[in-house]
Structure formats: structure tokens, C-alpha cells
Structure 1
Amino acid sequence: MSIEMVAPAWMHSQITAEQYDSWSEEQCAGIEIVDGMVVVSPSASKRHNRLARILANGLDSAAGQGWNADTDFDVRLQDVPLTNRRPDVVVYRSDTIDVTPTRPEHVLLVVEVVSPGSETTDRVVKVDQYAKAGIAFYWRIEQAATGVPIVYTYILDPATRSYRDGEVFTGIVTATVPFPVEIDLGIV
């Protein structure tokens, strides 16, 4: 006897922003929407989650009163076709904490922690989407074989809506932009 797995109907057709906005938080967890299609993300490793949490805590402390840093929520990059990304860390304007959906104009910095299976998406696809949406800063964290994370930073060129390379940090992030911050990621 075999059990046939049948994917829900919404996985086979584009969904609208209105449809997505009617879903519960539980239905939205662990997915992103790209060009109206649901993309299921595998569960992150403990190391991945710890890196994101340490970074979010450090950014939140350094950002000052005008900004918050958090993990695990959507950023609505566009309404039609719907594109929602769920960056590993988001630094957003504190006065938008109750605004849903979070939009690019609310966001200062997004961070992605690269995991096996997300390499191309985090290194190529998302960087392009975030730049075209106008998010000023993008950081990508690579989990090096040495166990010491490498942080690549990017700064938006508003004229071209593309990122230029910023600084690269190994283990300890000592960035001056978008605000001064020092975070030791080597303790993971």
C-alpha cells in the first residue's frame, strides 16, 4: 500500500497579496512568496539560527532608538506579482513596528545567512531583489569550513538599484555603516 502525497492547490497557482494576507501566521511560517508562487524553506540549523539571533541582538543594541532589528518576519518586496521574502535579520524603522506588511521603505538593512541549499538564492537572487526594492544595505553571512563566519556587506547605489561591495569581516563585525556596530560572530 502506498500513500500518495497531494500538495495543496495553492502550491500550484499564483496567489495574490490579498489571499496571502488572509492566511494565519502559522500558514506563513517557513515560506516565502516569489512572483506569486509559494516557496517552502527547509528548517534552518541551530548554527544558522544562532548566527541570526546574535547578529540581530547586536544590531538592535547598536541601532539606536530609531531602528529595531528582528528575525523571522516577511518583507513585502512587491504586491503584483506578490513577492515576500523572509530575511534572517531585518533592521527596520522602529515607528513601523505595528505596520503590516513591512515594506522596503521601512527597512534599512537585511541579512541572509547562507545555508546548504540557499547558496544561489542568497548570493544572486535575493541580493538583486533587495537592491531593486531599494533596501540600502545587504549583508550575507557565509558559514566557512573553519567555523568562523565571513560577513560580506553591500551598499545600494540608488542610481542603478544595484549593490556595490562593502567591507568583509571574518568573525568579528566592526562596521561603521549603516551605523557603528561591533559583533563577535566567532563565538558561535
Structure 2
Amino acid sequence: MTAERVAPAWTHTRISAEQYDSWSEEQCAGIEIVDGMVVTGPSASKRLRRLARLLANALDAAAGPDWNADTDFDVRLRDVPLTNRRPDVTVYRAETIDLTPTRPEHVLLVVGVVSPGSDTTDRSVKADQYAKAGIPFYWRVEQAATGVPIVYTYVLDPAIKAYRDGEMFTGMVKAAAPFSFEADLGAL
């Protein structure tokens, strides 16, 4: 006898913002909604989750009182069709800490930590979605063969709703935008 795995019905139908907002945090964990459809990505390794958490802590400390940085929560890019992304790190307006959902106008910077299997999504798809939503800064973190993470930074060109290349950092990040920030990636 073989056991067949049957996907839940909600994985085959479009989800509205109202439906999604009624789900528990446990139901929303580990998924994103793109054009109303539930999508899952590869699970990040413990090393990459730790990198995201430490980077969020460093960004939070550097951001000042007007901004907070945190990991793994929804950013509502669009209501219809529903598109929620769950960046690895999000820097958002401190005054919006109790507002749900977090909207692009609340967000200053999103950081994607690339996992094996998320390369194309993090390099192209998510960057395009964040830019079209008007998020001013996007950073992509990749693991180099040396083991030291590389940070690629991007700055929104609001006239064309696309990111322009910023700086690239290996080892020590010394960014001036969106605020003064320094971190030793080798130590993360």
C-alpha cells in the first residue's frame, strides 16, 4: 500500500487579504502569498537564520529611535491580488510597531539572505516586487565560497520603480545609506 500525500485545498485556490488576515501566526509561518497563491520557499539553514538575526540586531542598534529592525514577519506589498512577502530582515518605522499588516510605506529596507534554492527569487523576483512597492532600499546577502557573507546593496530609483546597484561589501560593511551602519560580517 502506498500513501499519497494530498495537499490542503487552500493551496489550490486564491487567498484574499481578508482570509489571510483571519489565519493564525502558526498558519502564516513559513509561507508567502504571491498573487493570491500560497508559496513556500526553501528553509534557511541555522547558519543563515543566525546571520539574519544578527544582522537585524546590528541594523536595529544603528537605526536610531525612528526605525526598528526585525526578522521574519509579513510585509503586505499588495492587497489585490494579495501579495505578502516575509523578508529575512525588515527595517520599518518604529511608530508602526503595532500596525498590522506592515505596508511598504512603513518600510525603509528589506534584506534577503539567499538560501540554496532561493537564488532567482531573491536576486530578481523579490527585488522587482519590493521596488515596484516603493521600498527605498534592498540588500541581498549571499554566502561566498570563503564562508564570509557578501552584501549587495540596492537603492530605489522612484522614477522607474527599479533598484540601482549600490555598494558591495565583503567582510566589513560600512554603509552610509539608509543610515550609517558598520558590521563585521566575518564575525557574524
Specify if TM > 0.5: yes
Give the Cα–Cα distance (whole angstroms) in 2 for the partners of residues 156 and 35 of structure 1. Answer: 23
Give the Cα–Cα distance (whole angstroms) in 1 for the partners of residues 74 and 172 of structure 2. Answer: 27
| Matching residue's letter, 2:88 | D
In structure 1, the residue matched to 2:77 is: 77
In structure 2, the residue matched to 1:26 is: 26
Contact 1:71 / 1:88 at 8 angstroms: preserved in 2? yes
In structure 1, the residue matched to 2:108 is: 108
1:19 Cα offset (Å): 0.4
- Give the paired residue count: 188
Unaligned ranges ≥5, structure 1: none
In structure 2, the residue matched to 1:13 is: 13
* 2:186 aligned counterpart, secondary structure: helix
| Matching residue's letter, 1:91 | V
Instruction: Tell me the TM-score normalized by structure 1.
Output: 0.99
Matches of residues 136-175 of structure 1 in structure 2 within 5 Å?
136-175=136-175
Contact 2:53 / 2:71 at 8 angstroms: preserved in 1? yes
Q: Tell me which moved more, 38-47 or 169-178.
A: 38-47
Contact 1:76 / 1:101 at 8 angstroms: preserved in 2? yes
* 2:6 aligned counterpart, secondary structure: coil
Query: Percent identity over the alignment?
Result: 78
Show structure 1 runs of 4+ deviating over 4 A. Answer: none
Give the Cα–Cα distance (whole angstroms) in 2 for the partners of residues 36 and 51 of structure 1. Answer: 30
Contact 2:41 / 2:118 at 8 angstroms: preserved in 1? no
1:132 Cα offset (Å): 0.1
Instruction: Tell me the TM-score normalized by structure 2.
Output: 0.99
In structure 2, the residue matched to 1:61 is: 61
Q: Tell me which moved more, 45-54 or 91-100.
A: 45-54
Structure 1 vs Structure 2 CA RMSD: 0.7
1:43 Cα offset (Å): 2.2
| Cα deviation code 1:115-169 (max 9, x no counterpart) | 1100000000000000000000000001111101110000000110000010100
1:41 Cα offset (Å): 2.5
1:187 Cα offset (Å): 1.6
1:13 Cα offset (Å): 1.1
Contact 1:30 / 1:40 at 8 angstroms: preserved in 2? yes
* 2:60 aligned counterpart, secondary structure: helix
| Matching residue's letter, 2:173 | V
